[in-house]
Structure 1
């Protein structure tokens, strides 16, 4: 039998060589892309979770103060729109009354103007009486001309008020859009904080609640206990007394009492109980009185924290304050060195 000869393999050249190279590279890339043993991202430590949650709470509080400011401005703009609408309605009513009076006069003039005045004088049986009536009509005409100018001015005034109301409505829409944006930001930050906290074990969560964000006395009372540093005035004392009655009440962002508070809502409510009206937000409250240094602090002073003036508490003496810390941490007493000190204001 004849021996079978093995077919000789020819090297790839030209297009065939390029195709083979492409297939080889693709195979190598596919092999490199094949997953090896799965490596899950390491779970964050309790300390890392705390750091992230603290940052989210600070950012949420800053957004809360922006929300509070936007809400206050939106409410003021809404009141302005209502006032302008009422003013436009009143001016329109006066305008319509003036128009009706002019219309009645014009109709009377039309009915009596069919005969030429010279002919009326010639046909009159009492020329003197006619001339007296003519003089009266002339004076009445002058009054009507004045009334006509008044009507024209009223038309312009109504148009101006309506234009101003339209502008205020556009501003109100913009403020409400900003309000929604701040609200969405707060909710997103708090939701992310809750998600991170849910990853902690019960023991880790208890340690977090006992840490910087959760430390402090939360026992509610009827007023400031005896033996504390005296407030500089009766109003400051009243504000401090109110803050003590709020101990233990929950933090709710955007709340001003009486059952829950955010940080600036608490200080506003405390001083309102003392008969003093404070602005709504931290960044406006800091300008609501006389600035004082940390060494000058007295009970009733407002103490502010962080570079963005995003948190406020009510100083009660001995280096402590009453404040509404964050969601999940009710109104409590805490040291003022718990957070970066940014300034203080004495209201009264």
Structure 2
């Protein structure tokens, strides 16, 4: 998650050699080479943010593929159903035509039943002709519907192919970013033990500073302390998932990404919500941050690429990033965009 640490000139650490090696795996050509731990931390945060952007885009396209597959399946089923109806009507129309031809226009069984009532027989013949014309109209309409459904089914197939191609492209981009992050984590692990401790301390300090500033603003003075029945169930679900690893695109039960965790937590509470953090921000009911309550979702970053589940007392549960696990963290430690309430 991207954070902007304060200048720590007094904490410049002798990690230039390691940082330069880390840069080979991390930085874009136009980026300045990180020479201090704060700069290394900022570079790692930038990469993790890029990874979340790629993940959310992939998840969105993947969701579209799933929905489109269902649409294609439904259309194909409708085509088959229409074809069966059309075939059956064609068979019935043929039987009726042959029967009328043999009986002079009126089915033999009808003539037998109505032989003692000539007027009724004539009425029945008129009804038979009307039924025949009606059958033809239905067959014409069904044939037209069949053609329209086939066209829609073909178009849906084309759209599904386009979405799958887009998903492959997104997956390739995501794989590239994952490779860079893997290398970054390897480089980070090669830091001296003291440097790793200092890097972790720097991350905690940055988070604590952001949380303290957030709390001091008074935002928690009016925040709710109890969630709705569904919200409490969502919090209980997320609490049970603590310690499970972050995995891109995962929705449980063994691992999660950020929006995979929040969507599954609310699904466990009986409320289906959008899969990605960006759609959660776009489609769910927004509430003021000062009015949030346990169970609400906190959306982070200007591009809504991270989400957590607020659990009260200024804390949240989230799946942070690759290499980390589902954890409890200060809710204001990241850049808050806003809050949404799934069961508003």
Q: Which TM bucket (shorter chain)? A: 0.7 to 0.9
Aligned residue number for residue 277 of structure 1: 272
For the Cα contact (< 8 Å) 2:65–2:164, is it kept in 1? yes
- Work out the CA distance in 1 between the residues paired with 2:325 and 2:231: 22
- Work out the CA distance in 1 between the residues paired with 2:286 and 2:120: 77
Q: 1:140 to 1:48 in 2, by over 3 A?
A: same
For residue 42 of structure 2, the aligned residue among 41, 51, 62 is 51
Aligned residue number for residue 87 of structure 1: 78
Q: 1:232 to 1:112 in 2, by over 3 A?
A: closer
For residue 197 of structure 1, the aligned residue among 165, 170, 185 is 185
- 1:148: Cα distance to partner? 1.3
- Work out the CA distance in 2 between the residues paired with 1:110 and 1:294: 79
1:306-317 matches, cutoff 5 A: 306-317=301-312
For the Cα contact (< 8 Å) 1:56–1:190, is it kept in 2? no
Aligned residue number for residue 147 of structure 1: 135
For the Cα contact (< 8 Å) 2:227–2:293, is it kept in 1? yes
Q: Taking structure 2 as the reference length, what is the TM-score of the superposition?
A: 0.73
Does residue 98 in structure 1 map to residue 74 in structure 2?
Answer: no
Does residue 168 in structure 1 map to residue 159 in structure 2?
Answer: no
Q: 1:213 to 1:65 in 2, by over 3 A?
A: farther
Aligned residue number for residue 234 of structure 2: 239
For residue 182 of structure 1, the aligned residue among 160, 164, 170 is 170
- How many corresponding residue pairs? 284
- Work out the CA distance in 1 between the residues paired with 2:306 and 2:250: 14
Structure 2, unaligned runs of 5 or more: 1-18, 24-34, 106-115, 208-223
- Work out the CA distance in 2 between the residues paired with 1:131 and 1:346: 72
Spell out, residue by residue over 1:274-332, the C-alpha distance to the aligned partner (whole angstroms, 9 max, x if none): 22211111112124543223333322121111110000001122322110001111011
Does residue 260 in structure 1 map to residue 248 in structure 2?
Answer: no
- Work out the CA distance in 2 between the residues paired with 1:309 and 1:192: 23
- 1:132: Cα distance to partner? 8.3
Q: 1:49 to 1:193 in 2, by over 3 A?
A: farther
Aligned residue number for residue 303 of structure 1: 298
- 1:47: Cα distance to partner? 4.4
Aligned residue number for residue 339 of structure 1: 334
- Work out the CA distance in 1 between the residues paired with 2:182 and 2:123: 87
Q: Taking structure 1 as the reference length, what is the TM-score of the superposition?
A: 0.72
Select the structure of larger CA radius of gyration: 1
